[in-house]
Structure 1
Amino acid sequence: MLVLLPAMGPADPFALPDFGSSADSLMSRAEERDLGQEFMKWVRKALPVSDDPVLTDYLETLGQQLVAASGNPGRYRFFLVEEPTINAFAGPDGHIGVFAGLILAAETEGELAGVIAHELAHVSQDHLMRRFEAQKQMALPATALLLAAAVLGATVDANIGAAGLMGVQGAAAQKQINFTRANEEEADRIGIDTLSRAGHNPYAMPGFFQRLAKTTRISDSAAPAFLRTHPVTTSRIADAMNRARQHGVRQRPDSLRFHLARANLRQRRESNPARAVEHFEKTLEQGRYRDETAQRYGYALALIRAGRLEAARQQLAPLLEAHPSQTEFLVLRAEIDRRAGNPQQAVRDLKGAVGLAPGNWPLNQAYAESLMAAEKPAQALAALERFVALRSDIAPIYELMADAAGQAGQRALNYRYRAEYLYLSHALEPAIRQLELALRLEDLDFHLASRLQVRLAELKALERAREARD
């Protein structure tokens, strides 16, 4: 729903001409980053943003594939919102949220990819900036609040948390930034082109929108949040179908990870583990599933939640035999071993997998968690330091590093990595305080102290620049 990033990248034979606007110079890169941080503070206060590495990594992988196909590279972060709402939105600095309800409502991976591609098209065409140009004199915190209010008002029950406090403001903002019909049609056309170039069926996007519209009859009260913020008309569907026809039908099988993510979300949706187990038992017995491998994976997850570890292990064993390098299955096996009191086995199993995939977030996190459970926090910290040398922007990893450093008796590193976690969690001032505490420690290593001083100076410079802009 919300978009902000400027168009970038090489010429594209399918892209529409961009004649520019004063919005192109509305915000510097630093201001955009600050706005994104303020925006995400409000989103996290009101929405259950997931830090699950397996699910988030799947969304990141799918999203970055679409970014690469779009011809508009940029800085994007894809995250999961664990709500049953059928919606997705993009915010400042490339933060794109996908709701669990949308993943479950999508019957194919192409349908899910179609929604994400549509949001990316809003981003590349600066639709939000051009609608929001009148507010360019507002301070960044106020702008972020208005943007977040619009998102939260559209996607969350008005009586819940921060969204309730901003209900009236959100309603006003929503009217101000809702995309025009021309914006939506443009995002459809460019999104369909991206979808096709990424290898998905270009008909998936208009087909999904049409199916949602028929299911809900476009009623204001019944329509999914996505359709309320992206209204579907007969002419819009016809235009989108015509655009898809230019590419032709493509039959691409869904990835296994798509089905695994859906099975995971289905079992998480059931708050009672016993009922989740019962659901998967019945569907497996009756053959009511799209993918048996994914269904058994969901069953194993539900069994773990119910405390039935050996039953879960029995379900997982044939899945691992058929897919020995599948991230989801390796992480699940390690979790079973840790819960069964055998983290050493998890460490042995994961060590080789991490060596083969050093940049894999879920595997590295599971490996570090297993080392810590095996009372080897120093090794866990060393493993994570190797990982962040490859991927330095994952907040939960720094939180785990801070815990490992604390368990290893490394107080200065505990403060240092807690600071990075807070910074990536959009809490600049608390991050600065953590570094200041680290520098007050006695007998601090000279080289570490120098690195801490440099990082503290960087964060304080960011703070001063933000204050000057506000």
Structure 2
Amino acid sequence: MRARSLAIALLLVVLPSLGPADPFALPDFGSSADTIMSRAEERDLGQEFMKWVRKALPISDDPVLTDYIQTLGQQLVASSGNPGHYDFFLIEEPTVNAFAGPDGRIGIFAGLILASQTEGELAAVVAHELAHVSQDHLMRSFEAQRQMALPATALLLAAAVLGATVDANIGAAGLMGIQGAAAQQQINFTRANEEEADRIGIDTLARAGHNPYAMPGFFQRLAKSTRVSDSKTPEFLRTHPVTTSRIADAMNRARQHGLRQRPDSLRFHLARANLRQRSESNPQRAVDHFAKTLEQGRYRDETAQRYGYALALTRAGQLEAARRQLSPLLEQHPSQTEFLVLGADIDRRAGNPEQAVRDLKAPVGLAPGHWPLNQAYAESLMAASRPAEALSALQRFVALRPGIAPIYELMADAAGKSGQRALNYRYRAEYLYASDELEPAIRQLELALRLDDIDFHLAAQLQARLSELQAMERARKGRE
């Protein structure tokens, strides 16, 4: 199983040609898309594509882990010289993989983070995917599918990107409808696309301060691990274009920048520890794992290992033991997001949400636009039976950071529990819109406007938002 996961990992850097004989193949993503598709059309396609991704894969709603992935991604975007729309998200599956979809949607599998021995290796894969997006590889290769309807196109792309991870029972009728077209109009991806993504990705790595050798080194390690652990190389690894020569080309590109040493961030190690304990369905097994590795000294970062231990203990309900592990970490790193959020979680589970509110109030005041801290603070207020205050706190946050779906979901809950029915519908609509569900979002706003006791000013705001979403829906239908 491990060998298969490592083999799949190589796909995210090789991205072989899409074909029915290769269910795990990932497409190349490619160049000057504006002549093929408008920005609005690409946004529509991205939204429809994500509906299939959400049906097929467990996208993480953990704010701490998602914030880390988004922060790393945006740091690379800033160094890439190619600003634009990017949405980084975490998929909680052990597969060592990543993919880029339309509208800059970049998914990172948990298995990739766990397989990365350094943050540079993880950044190398993200930088490679960024290059596919910035060079419009997908949109260029998509030209042959321009005559297909939007839902069918999105399903075809989801099947192409996700391969066998797409449940055959999901949208079976749609799959049958496009099967013939897909067989005749496969997306073609070139070796040049891959070489370009490698080259640009390495340049981005170097500008971001990461070791440019991390990319060819990671690819080489994965390929070697596959050969050692699985004597029968899967067909998709034998047939994809360029293996050793591609690694050599990447090595030559890295050599132009020279070796750079950058220590891994603490957040990288904390994310790996978190994902390691979450990978165990039985929390006690996770507790035993971290206890044993700490006792034997088998870890790369002791702080992260103790954090993973505290998380596992919390999940297992051993709250006092978890607190004993967390306390020295908080003393050493009093402003570390991961530790503050975990401390609040322990307090809530222990029936003391007021303590969590007190502990988070100052950090939230210092970082009003920080997603994980603000969500933990609002959850603590909710647990303390203070939903109106939680809603007010989140309203201040979304004024600075709009568009985060889990936050709107929490706002809808807070509005409902504080007796504000119209706001419950309003934030439910925003949650659906942020989740790429335009039509259901419109229905929620319509329900809100039917309420008898709605305030005039709020009604005006809801009507304005409804008109905006309806205009988007009409424009989208006009483009289909």
- The TM-score with structure 1 as length reference comes to 0.91
Name the counterpart of 1:60: 70
2:336 aligned residue (288, 301, 326): 326
Deviation of 1:139 after TM superposition, in Å, equals 1.9
Name the counterpart of 2:21: none
In structure 2, how many angstroms separate the alpha carbons of the residues matched to 1:442 and 1:162?
Answer: 39
Name the counterpart of 1:250: 260
Asked if the contact 1:131–1:176 (Cα under 8 Å) also holds between the matched residues in 2, the reply is: no
Identity of aligned residues (%): 81
- Would you say 1:188 and 2:195 are equivalent positions? no
Name the counterpart of 2:145: 135
1:406 aligned residue (401, 412, 416): 416
| Structure 2 SS opposite 1:202 | coil
Deviation of 1:346 after TM superposition, in Å, equals 0.2
1:468 aligned residue (461, 467, 478): 478
| Structure 1 SS opposite 2:419 | coil
CA spacing shift, 1:157–1:77, aligned 2, 3 Å: closer
In structure 2, how many angstroms separate the alpha carbons of the residues matched to 1:215 and 1:345?
Answer: 48
Moved over 4 A (4+): 1-6, 157-175, 218-225, 227-232
| Structure 2 SS opposite 1:412 | helix
Deviation of 1:176 after TM superposition, in Å, equals 2.8
In structure 1, how many angstroms separate the alpha carbons of the residues matched to 2:339 and 2:239?
Answer: 37
CA spacing shift, 1:331–1:5, aligned 2, 3 Å: farther
Asked if the contact 1:43–1:148 (Cα under 8 Å) also holds between the matched residues in 2, the reply is: yes
Name the counterpart of 2:161: 151
Asked if the contact 1:3–1:123 (Cα under 8 Å) also holds between the matched residues in 2, the reply is: no
Name the counterpart of 2:45: 35
In structure 1, how many angstroms separate the alpha carbons of the residues matched to 2:79 and 2:87?
Answer: 16
Cα distance per residue 1:89-120 (max 9 Å; x no partner) = 01111110000110000000000000000001
In structure 1, how many angstroms separate the alpha carbons of the residues matched to 2:160 and 2:231?
Answer: 17
| Structure 2 SS opposite 1:398 | helix
In structure 2, how many angstroms separate the alpha carbons of the residues matched to 1:160 and 1:191?
Answer: 36
Asked if the contact 1:5–1:93 (Cα under 8 Å) also holds between the matched residues in 2, the reply is: no
1:393 aligned residue (398, 403, 416): 403
CA spacing shift, 1:137–1:172, aligned 2, 3 Å: closer
CA spacing shift, 1:122–1:281, aligned 2, 3 Å: same
Bigger shift: 445-454 or 27-36?
A: 27-36
In structure 1, stretches of 5+ residues that fail to align are 7-19
Deviation of 1:3 after TM superposition, in Å, equals 6.7
Name the counterpart of 1:454: 464
Asked if the contact 2:30–2:193 (Cα under 8 Å) also holds between the matched residues in 1, the reply is: no
CA spacing shift, 1:345–1:171, aligned 2, 3 Å: farther
- Would you say 1:88 and 2:98 are equivalent positions? yes
The letter for the 2-side match of 1:295 is Q
Deviation of 1:220 after TM superposition, in Å, equals 10
The letter for the 1-side match of 2:393 is A
Bigger shift: 110-119 or 157-166?
A: 157-166
The letter for the 1-side match of 2:113 is I
In structure 1, how many angstroms separate the alpha carbons of the residues matched to 2:319 and 2:112?
Answer: 30
2:450 aligned residue (425, 440, 448): 440
Q: Following superposition of structure 1 onto structure 2, how do residues 368-383 of structure 1 map, counting pairs within 5 Å?
A: 368-383=378-393
In structure 2, how many angstroms separate the alpha carbons of the residues matched to 1:281 and 1:349?
Answer: 28
Cα distance per residue 1:344-394 (max 9 Å; x no partner) = 000000000001111110000000000010111111000000100111010
Asked if the contact 1:3–1:89 (Cα under 8 Å) also holds between the matched residues in 2, the reply is: no
In structure 2, how many angstroms separate the alpha carbons of the residues matched to 1:222 and 1:162?
Answer: 32
Deviation of 1:158 after TM superposition, in Å, equals 6.0
Asked if the contact 1:264–1:301 (Cα under 8 Å) also holds between the matched residues in 2, the reply is: yes
Cα distance per residue 1:159-182 (max 9 Å; x no partner) = 675699859959957993363211
CA spacing shift, 1:170–1:332, aligned 2, 3 Å: farther
1:208 aligned residue (218, 221, 224): 218
Q: Following superposition of structure 1 onto structure 2, how do residues 3-402 of structure 1 map, counting pairs within 5 Å?
A: 23-154=33-164, 156=165, 166=175, 169=179, 176-177=186-187, 179-217=189-227, 232-402=242-412
Deviation of 1:152 after TM superposition, in Å, equals 2.4
CA spacing shift, 1:291–1:60, aligned 2, 3 Å: same
The letter for the 2-side match of 1:59 is I
- The TM-score with structure 2 as length reference comes to 0.90
Asked if the contact 1:216–1:223 (Cα under 8 Å) also holds between the matched residues in 2, the reply is: no
Number of positions where the alignment pairs a residue of Structure 1 with one of Structure 2: 453
